[in-house]
Amino acid sequence: MTGGPLDDVLVVDLSRALAGPHAAMMLGDMGARVIKVEPPGGDDSRQWGPPFLGGERDRESTYFFCANRNKESITLDLRSGDDREMLARLIQRADVLVENFRPGGFARLGFGDDRLRELNPRLVHLSITGFGHDGPERSRPGYDQILQGEGGLMSLTGAENGDPAKVGVPIADLLAGMNGAFGVLSALYERERTGRGRVVRTSLLAAMVGAHAFQGTRWTVGKEVPVPAGVHHPSIAPYGLFQTQSSPVQIACGSEPLWRAFAGVVGIDPEDPRFATNARRVANRAELTARIRRALGARPAGHWLRRLAEAGVPAGRVRSLDEVYEWEQVAAQGLLITVEHATQGMLALPGPTIRFDGNSHAGGRRTHLPPPTLGQHNDVIAQWLRT
C-alpha cells in the first residue's frame, strides 16, 4: 500500500510517448499501482535522445524518465494470442485502462468497447487521440508540435511581428494528459454511485482549444484574431519582460493599485492621460514600454527586484532550468525527488505537483518508484496474475 489517496486503484497503461504516460504517471503519483504495458521494443520515447544514460547494454533515455515514474513495466506482443490473453486478465483486475491508439486501433486488436465491458464492467477506460475520436479528421496521427500548430497555439506564440513559435515543452501532450487524468478521477467518483465504468475520451486538439483561455474569447466574442505579442501580455499593461542594466525582469501589473505602485517606483505619473487606465496603457503600449525601459536601464536587476518587492509589485527573474532545480523554493515544495533506478543508480527527477496536508512527501505516496527498465516486472506480474 502506497499510502496515497489512490492506493487501491490499479491502472493498466498501454499508452506510448507522452500524453497517456503523463496521465498514468499522475495517477501513480497519487498512489495508484500503474502497470505499463510495452511492446517488445519498448515505448517509443525510450529511443528519444540524447541525452541518454548508461552504455550500449543499459542505455536509458532521459526523455522516458520524465513521464514514467511510479510505474512497473511488462512487455506484451499484442499480435500474440497468449499475450492478448494476458492483457485481458490484467484488464479484468484493473480499475483504469489508459491507451492512445488511433480511433479503432485498439478494437482491431480485439479490445473494442463491448469486449472491454464484457471483461470488466467497472473499468474506467481513458482513450487519448490526436484530433479526436470522431469528425472528418479523426484518423490523422497526432504529435505535439502538429497540434500546437493546428490548434492555434503557435499562431499567438512568439516574438511580436515574428514567425509563429512553439512552446518550449510538449504542452499539447502535457495538457491532454492532465485533462485525461481529471476525466479518470471524475469517472471513478461516478463509479462509486453507479457501480459502472465509463469511457473517457480526450485529445491533443481538445487540449489546445481548451487552453486558449482569453485568447479564445477574443475571437469567439470580440472577433479579434490574436497574433503573437512576444514577451508582453496582449490585454494588460505593463505586464511582461523588461531589460534592466544587467538582466531582464518580469513585471505584472494586473490591477490599478499595482499600476500606481509600479508607476511610483519608476517615476511615471500614474494619472497621465495616456496611461491612466489599462485600456489606455494597452493602446499606448509602445510609448509606455519605452518609458519603463529608460527607467529600468539605469540600475541592475537586483536593485529593481528589491524596490518592486518593497512596493508590493509582482516581479521576478527569468531563470535557466539549472537555476530552477537549484532554487531552495523548488526544493521546499517537493518539486525535485530522488529515486534509485535499477541500472542507473540514484536519479534526481522533477516531482509531483500536488501535496496534501499532513503529508510532507511530494504527491500522495510515501515513497516514489523509479522509471522502470523495459520488462523489469515481467516475472512478478505474471506470477501475480496466476494467484
Per-residue pLDDT of the chain (387 residues; tens, 9 = 90+): 678 899 999 999 999 999 999 999 999 999 999 999 999 999 999 999 999 999 988 999 999 999 999 999 999 999 999 999 999 999 999 999 999 999 999 999 999 999 999 999 999 999 999 999 999 999 999 999 999 999 999 999 999 888 899 999 999 999 999 999 999 999 999 999 999 999 999 999 999 999 999 999 999 999 999 999 899 999 999 999 999 999 999 999 999 999 999 999 999 999 999 999 999 999 999 999 999 999 999 999 999 999 999 999 999 999 999 999 999 999 999 899 999 999 999 999 999 999 888 766 667 888 999 999 999 999 999 999 998
| Helix residue ranges, H only, the chain | 19-29, 62-65, 81-93, 105-108, 113-119, 144-150, 171-194, 204-210, 214-220, 256-266, 278-283, 285-296, 301-311, 321-325, 328-332, 378-386
CA distances from 66 to 14, 148, 349, 374, 383 (A): 17, 20, 7, 15, 29
Do 265 and 258 contact (CB within 8 A), yes or no? Answer: no
CATH of domain 239-243+248-317: 3.30.1540.10
CATH of domain 10-211+330-386: 3.40.50.10540
Query: Domain locations in the chain?
Result: 10-211+330-386, 239-243+248-317
How many CB atoms lie under 10 A from the CB of residue 76? 20
Catalytic residues: 233
pTM: 0.94
Report d(CA 101, CA 324) in Å as an integer.
Answer: 35
Given the C-alpha cell 479518470, which residue does it identify?
A: 184
Q: 367: which DSSP letter?
A: S
Q: What is the distance in angstroms between the CA of the first residue and the CA of the last residue of the chain?
A: 18
Burial of 193 per CB tally in 10 Å (0-12, 13-18, 19+)? exposed
